[in-house]
Amino acid sequence: MLTVGPQEDADIKHNMTFDIQAVVKITDDVYSVDGGANAGYDDDGDEIDPFINIVFQIPKNVNLKELSFDLKDVVRHEIEHLTQDGENLKQGKYIPDDQDLRNLIDAGMLNKDEYYKLPKEVDAMIQGMYYKAKKSKTPFADVVDDYFDKAKVTPEERPKIKALWNKRIPALGIKQRL
């Protein structure tokens, strides 16, 4: 567990404070990456310290380059969530809570691909994957397609998700198209 925050003597324009916990499980052959963020509220709505949780399962013979880029993607994705609400909220980034829709997706009452259309996820996914694309010097569209392949996004939904993301990309200051 690590706490990230501004140094007292630093002149930082965009302060953020959060705890981060990373869990790595070494496996024989499973590679999976996951993360989560909490902007600073418990289940009862009471304030808590904002946090990011990262959970990776990596095989003993992991491709360290791939791991590094996936870690960058997940951390940037989760940082974006922290800017959408709570004490790390950035001006113009507030997005209302969508936990009810997430619960319906998790319960199978909504198509799993609806997750990629949630406003909080759209910005976070674009930011994370764009950061990964820049760092890995890989075309942004290729990073998105690779993610969709790994996440098993249905072929029917991919064009719909990309169209939605393409509408949002310019507002994030990204000069790319999918």
Is 24 contained in some domain? Answer: no
Strand, helix or coil at 44? Answer: coil
**Inter-residue contact 165 to 126 (CB < 8 Å):** yes
Q: State the residue range of the domain holding 123.
A: 95-178
Q: Is 19 exposed, middle or buried (0-12, 13-18, 19+ CB in 10 A)?
A: middle
Is 109 contained in some domain? Answer: yes
pLDDT at 126: 98
pLDDT at 42: 87
Task: Using alpha carbons, list the distances in angstroms from residue 156 to 33, 97, 148, 160.
Answer: 24, 27, 12, 8
Is 132 contained in some domain? Answer: yes
pLDDT at 14: 55
Q: Strand pairing of 32-38 and 51-59?
A: antiparallel
pLDDT at 7: 57
pLDDT at 6: 60
Instruction: Give the number of other CB atoms < 10 A from CB of residue 116.
Output: 21
Q: What is the pTM of this model?
A: 0.90
145-156: pLDDT as tens digits: 999 999 999 999
Is 178 contained in some domain? Answer: yes
Q: Count of residues for the chain?
A: 178
Is 101 contained in some domain? Answer: yes
β strands within the chain, DSSP E: 2-4, 18-27, 32-38, 51-59
Is 59 contained in some domain? Answer: no
Is 128 contained in some domain? Answer: yes
The number of distinct structural domains making up the chain is 1
pLDDT at residue 8 is higher than 70: no
Is 74 contained in some domain? Answer: no
Task: Quote the CA–CA distance of 148 and 79 in Å, as a whole number.
Answer: 21
